[in-house]
Structure 1
């Protein structure tokens, strides 16, 4: 039988984490949607850019991921369907990380930034932070 360990977490810390985490996806989505050629160029020049081509033309992947990041990022920002938003962002973040960040041996910072972001998203994907009265 699994024993549930409960911890106390400040509601304010959860709200701040959710809002701060959402911003990177909102900004990235705007880059995907308004700087399409530049983003496609990053995929094509990436060591593992072929991963980006598995879903079809890179332009389609960039536009699709941009739309998902914008919608899910805004949902995360305002606290709407946070679990679903976090899962959608995880699904988008993994192929982006595999395509762009893996293989950049000269600079591992962006890779571990994405790992940290993934950790933040997992907090929302694996927990229920519905509004509760104290």
Structure 2
């Protein structure tokens, strides 16, 4: 369930990068990101990372690494796009909630479902 927001966000970044880049450029703290690189390439790269991380999380494939990568991605996104404006307080707390979910997966991995759990079961010797 957590993966859906990352998959949709990644697709939105890739389908309409100019709209997302405009949001980044007009956000109060967007200069922190655009000082590193132009907005459009940052949006495309983050879209690819969000999509890959979201799909990996959905499939339970390298769950801990996917969650860690997504957390490393949403922290700067949150700081540059959602901080500094009262209008973005809802999305700010949404991202904080997402971070909590990602921290859970970093700590626990894919427990029962997913490719990580399947690989762990197939590695155990049968008795």
TM-score range for the pair, normalised by the shorter chain length = 0.7 to 0.9
Report the equivalent of 1:44: 25
Distance in 2 (CA, whole Å) between partners of 1:50 and 1:125 is 30
Which residue, out of 102, 109, 125, partners 1:121?
102
C-alpha distance 70-106 of structure 1, shift in aligned 2 (>3 A): closer
Distance in 2 (CA, whole Å) between partners of 1:128 and 1:79 is 8
Q: 1:63-113: CA deviations, max 9, x gaps? A: 111001111100000110000000110111011100110012244111101
Residue ranges of structure 2 left out of the alignment (5+ in a row): 112-116, 122-127
Instruction: Answer 1 or 2: which has greater helix percent.
Output: 2
Residue ranges of structure 1 left out of the alignment (5+ in a row): 1-19
The reply on whether 1:27 has 2:16 as its aligned counterpart is: no
Calculate the TM-score normalised by the size of structure 1: 0.79
Q: 1:5-33: CA deviations, max 9, x gaps? A: xxxxxxxxxxxxxxx10000000001111
Report the equivalent of 1:5: none
Distance in 2 (CA, whole Å) between partners of 1:128 and 1:57 is 34
The reply on whether 1:66 has 2:50 as its aligned counterpart is: no
Aligned residues: 114
